[in-house]
Amino acid sequence: MTLLQLFKNISIYVRPYRWLIILALILTFIGALTAQVNAYVLQYTVNSIASLVEQHKPLSEGLNIVAIITIILLSKEIINILISFGQKFFGEKIRIMISKDLAQKVIEKVLSYRMAFFTADESGSGKLQTRIDQGVSSLTRTVQSFFIDIFPLFTSAIVAMLGMFNANYRVGLVALCIVPIYFFISQRQAKKLKGARRNIRSYRENKSGGIINILESISVIKSFNREDIEAKKQLELQTALTDTQMRTRSTNFKFDALKTFTEQIGVVIIIILTAYLVLSGQMQIGAIMLHIMLFNNVTAPIRQLHRIYDEVNDALIYAEGFFDIMNSDHQTEQSGNYRPEKIEGKFELRDVNFSYPNGTKALFNANMTILPNKITALVGLSGAGKSTVINLLDKFYEPTEGEILLDGVPLRDYDTKYLRENIGLVLQKNHIFSGTIAENIFYGKPDASYEDMVEAAKQAFIHEQVINLPDGYESSALLLSGGQQQRIAIARLFLKKPPIIFLDEPTASLDAIATEQIKNSLDAIKKDRTVIIISHSISQFIDSEMIYVLKQGRVLEHGTHEDVYKQNGAYREIFDAAARSLNVERISGTMVNK
């Protein structure tokens, strides 16, 4: 990304604050003028006092001058305090506001994207978070250094340079010749340090990531006696970090020395030149002071140049990844606008083929009819494509080929939000948000009454356990066990009461008693609903009215348990293996003899 593109991209976010920016720029300009006052006051003082001394005037006349410069300098300082406060405050306000807008906008954008965006390799949650964080912070840092550092300093430098030319163009020319040398050294410094700050930051992140890793896996580390290896890994990171830090420091010290030296040469040349001009009567003595002080103002911003250069470089790199996320409009979820009054819940898959965005083919010519008021089970080994079917029915992805109908209307024509309001999804993995238990259940239907929420918890068999907690429904949901969290997720479903329910191994992390209780509740809720269940447990699928058997993305068999079992195919294989692993004979023996 070039600087121009960066400005173009960021200008939309800067525009709402243009008045603030204009104000900051006006203050900057006034600040640049006041920054030169000292130089002129010094010139005036030296000239006036020199002429008093020459004319052997009494001390009382000198007091006049002292009074004038005291008033000027104090007034200037008061104005300066106000200006610099305003400048910093407005600069900071611009930064904070833009940072807020960027952070909020990117979240809203990301939330609007389709599922494929999130499962793509380059947007693994960690990577996405890093890209967003780095983008927001480096962009806001650029905005800040632009308004607080670069602009004021450079305006002051230009004003000072104009002042020098105005006082004497030859001295101005000398200063103008020194500036490029100074620029050149700063640029070399920036080149040498290129990426060093970024490297240091990434080492630091790795180090803190490493510590988190150690804390998370402490029991494994200890049980395998791997403390030494972990310590060594950290030492390597630490060494890399300190090496880079030392190298950066030494480069900085060298270049800073070189810059000071160049600046001093400039000062010396200006002293010689102005002294000559004074002695030859072309200038008054005070002009020496004036030029040296103005020259100081000219070089001040260039001293910071390498840092600004590095920051802008950083921003260019991070901004690219960041604006890629911001501007991926083609990733926005598609929605039709069909919103029927009621959804019956009959799904038909017609010759559906589907590949994930990374190219994995997950479904081949799948044909299915899923009827309302029935429980349909999807059975198959891991990776067979069962969850993929649910992903397609929930419109998380669109089929690559073929068509999916819901109540006879193509799924793609449905208003996506409306469709999902009518679907309840419970996955194997717990999806609990940080917050209270009540908040987590209310997530299913934010406008439900408290009584309905408690009723849902009762149906999910979690109520008894919740009321025994010290804070009851106000306890943190993250403190619950895996099985309990799963029941919170199921309670959410009972609260939502959608006409369509997808259950992807909902009881996999539950104990036997809970599994039985939940099964009963689910059996109760299935009435007047379309229920699809994915499960490896016989108890879950044996009773379902329709079973679809999938293998490597193909639908091989379908029918009731008896139907598909008789086909002596994949289902029978899975069922027999599951039954054997249960040791049915022993179980039935125990049950009979009890």
CA–CA separation, 127 and 382 (whole Å): 27
Tell me if 112 sits within 8 A of 330, measured CB to CB: no
Interaction between residue 388 and ligand ADP (CB under 6 A)? yes
* The one among 337, 358, 434, 468 contacting ligand ADP by CB under 6 A: 358
Binding ligand ADP by CB under 6 A: which of 29, 40, 356, 565? 356
Q: Tell me how crowded residue 447 is: count the other CB atoms within 10 A of its CB.
A: 6
Nearer to ligand ADP, 155 or 388 (CB): 388
**Which of 543-580 are b and which e, b meaning 16 or more Cβ less than 10 Å from the residue's Cβ?**
ebebbbbbbebebbbbbebeebbeeeebbeebbeebee
Q: Which of 24, 39, 160, 362 binds ligand ADP (CB under 6 A)?
A: 362
- Is the sign of the CA dihedral 486, 496, 113, 313 positive or negative? negative
Contact residue for ligand ADP among 387, 486, 517, 530 (CB under 6 A):
387
Query: Taking each helix axis from N to C terminus, what angle separates 196-216 and 227-279, rounded to the nearest 10 degrees?
Result: 160
- Residues facing 337 on adjacent strands: none
Residue whose CB is less far from ligand ADP, 383 or 435: 383
- Residue 558 in contact with residue 368, Cβ under 8 Å? yes
Residue of 19, 309, 18, 29 lying closest to 152 (CA atoms): 29
Residue 304 class from Cβ within 10 Å (0-12 exposed, 13-18 middle, 19+ buried)?
Answer: middle
Minimum gap (Å) between residue 575 Cβ and ligand ADP: 16
Smallest distance from the beta carbon of 488 to ligand ADP, in angstroms? 23
Nearest approach in angstroms of CB 552 to ligand ADP is: 8
Burial class (CB in 10 A: 0-12, 13-18, 19+), 48: buried
Choice between 188 and 536, CB closer to ligand ADP: 536
CB of 125 to ligand ADP, least distance (A): 13
Nearer to ligand ADP, 186 or 391 (CB): 391
Out of 95, 386, 519, 558, name the contact with ligand ADP by CB under 6 A.
Answer: 386
Interface with ligand ADP by CB under 6 A: which range of 96-104, 356-364, 402-410, 472-480? 356-364
With CB under 6 A as the contact rule, the residue among 31, 163, 380, 444 that binds ligand ADP is 380
135, 286, 385, 399: which one binds ligand ADP (CB under 6 A): 385
Binding segment for ligand ADP among 29-37, 73-81, 378-386, 399-407 (CB under 6 A)? 378-386
**Does 349 sit near ligand ADP (CB under 6 A)?**
no
- Count of CB atoms situated within 10 Å of the CB of 294: 29
Select 386 or 463, whichever has its Cβ closest to ligand ADP: 386
- Cβ count within 10 A of residue 145: 20
Give the Cα separation of 62 and 72 in Å (integer): 16
Tokens 């029978």, residue? 572
CB 355, min distance to ligand ADP, A: 8
Give phi and psi for 369, each to the nearest 5.
-130, 125
Nearest distance from residue 562's CB to ligand ADP, in Å?
Answer: 23
Q: Is the Cβ of residue 340 or residue 357 nearer to ligand ADP in the bound state?
A: 357
Comparing CB distances to ligand ADP, the nearer of 242 and 400 is 400
At residue 239, the 3 state secondary structure works out as: helix
| 384 near ligand ADP, judged by CB under 6 A | yes
Angle at 229 between CA 223 and CA 233, to 5 degrees: 135
User: Which stretch, 36-44, 208-216, 324-332, 382-390, contacts ligand ADP (CB under 6 A)?
Assistant: 382-390
- Asked if 360 interacts with ligand ADP (CB under 6 A), we say yes
- The reply to whether 383 sits near ligand ADP by the rule CB under 6 A is yes
Q: Does 125 bind ligand ADP (CB under 6 A)?
A: no
Is residue 549 a contact partner of residue 541, using CB atoms and an 8 Å limit? no
Question: What are the residues binding ligand ADP (CB under 6 A)?
Answer: 119, 356, 358, 360, 362, 380, 382-388
